[in-house]
Amino acid sequence: MSGDSKHPAIKLTYFDVKGRGEQVRLYLKDNAIPFEDNRISFPQLGEEQKKGTLPWGSVPFLEEGDFSIAQSPAILTYLETKYGQAGASWGTNQPRVISAICAAEDHRQLRLQSTLFAPADQKEALQKKHVEDKLLPRWLPNIEKMFAKSGGPYVLGAQVSAADASWFSELEMIVAVFHPDLQGFAGIRRFMEAYAARPNIAAYLRERKQTPV
């Protein structure tokens, strides 16, 4: 991906899976921002960690010319501030967007603890516990409330933002891993449909590399 001094190329470094990188890919695709999708392996991450190029030793990591930033909520905030469509309303909407992105990150962490990172012999029980104790009584109702409060279909209402990229990628995983019955969650279903139907997102969902996580 080439750039110039006025528009330096964006490079996103992440593993060759959806994970925490997918929300950034979705945001960049939705906004038609060209970027290098630098998908690395675990050994390559180890090399980067040894070189000290990653501020927290973690990915996703985004570079744009001389600027670079780690931590997915901060990456999305950076992109939304620079490229977002919220314009003048960004000042007042920013805390809501960041709050929603952080909430998605909280759930992502909980989901990973009960799935990918869970010991093999405890996985089934931990998943069941997550669904019964956390997902159904607390998380899905709170996500639904977020859309009811904004009026939907997006986190900010009619205005799309980086928070939608974040929640879409997390809800995709929630659906894929826990198969919840979303019958009583019309706001969530409307959001998923509206975001997936955005032209650049629909094209990306058709063409993107299929990975299990």
Ligand X SMILES: N[C@@H](CCC(=O)N[C@@H](CS)C(=O)NCC(=O)O)C(=O)O
Question: Which stretch, 55-63, 79-87, 151-159, 197-205, contacts ligand X (CB under 6 A)?
Answer: 55-63
Q: Does 105 bind ligand X (CB under 6 A)?
A: yes
Nearer to ligand X, 60 or 187 (CB): 60
- 59 is an interface residue for ligand X by CB under 6 A: yes
84 sits near ligand X (criterion: CB under 6 A): no
Strands across the sheet containing 61-64 = 35-40, 10-15, 61-64, 67-70
Selected binder of ligand X within 3, 8, 57, 65 (CB under 6 A): 57
Half-sphere CA count of 72, side-chain side, radius 13 A: 32
Q: Which residues contact 3 (CB under 8 A, 6 or more apart)?
A: 9, 10, 65
Q: How far apart, in whole angstroms, are the C-alpha atoms of residue 12 and residue 128?
A: 34
The residue from 60, 84, 153, 187 that contacts ligand X (CB under 6 A) is 60
Q: Which of 10, 12, 13, 20 binds ligand X (CB under 6 A)?
A: 20
Dig out the tokens for 204 from the structure: 């990306």
Interface ranges with ligand X (CB under 6 A): 19-20, 45, 57-60, 71-72, 105
